[in-house]
């Protein structure tokens, strides 16, 4: 992991029962960045 990263995920998949909410999410958020992640339900 790079020292400038606050958050990093690779191939993240999340299920709620039979519903797949995330599929293979790759994400990097660097220190000092402002990041928002919104879906259809806000």
What does the pLDDT read at residue 40? 80
What does the pLDDT read at residue 37? 83
- In angstroms, rounded to a whole number, what is the distance separating the alpha carbons of residues 34 and 31? 9
* Residue 25: count of CB within 10 angstroms of its CB: 13
The ranges assigned to domains in the chain are: 1-33
Cβ(12)–Cβ(22) below 8 Å: yes
Indicate the pTM of the whole model: 0.65
Query: How does pLDDT run across 1-42, given as a tens digit for each residue?
Result: 456 999 999 999 999 999 998 999 999 999 999 989 888 876
């Amino acid at each position: 992991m790079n020292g400038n990263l606050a958050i990093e995920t690779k191939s993240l998949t999340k299920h709620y029962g039979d519903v797949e909410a995330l599929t293979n999410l790759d994400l990097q958020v660097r220190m000092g960045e402002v990041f928002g992640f919104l879906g259809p339900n806000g």
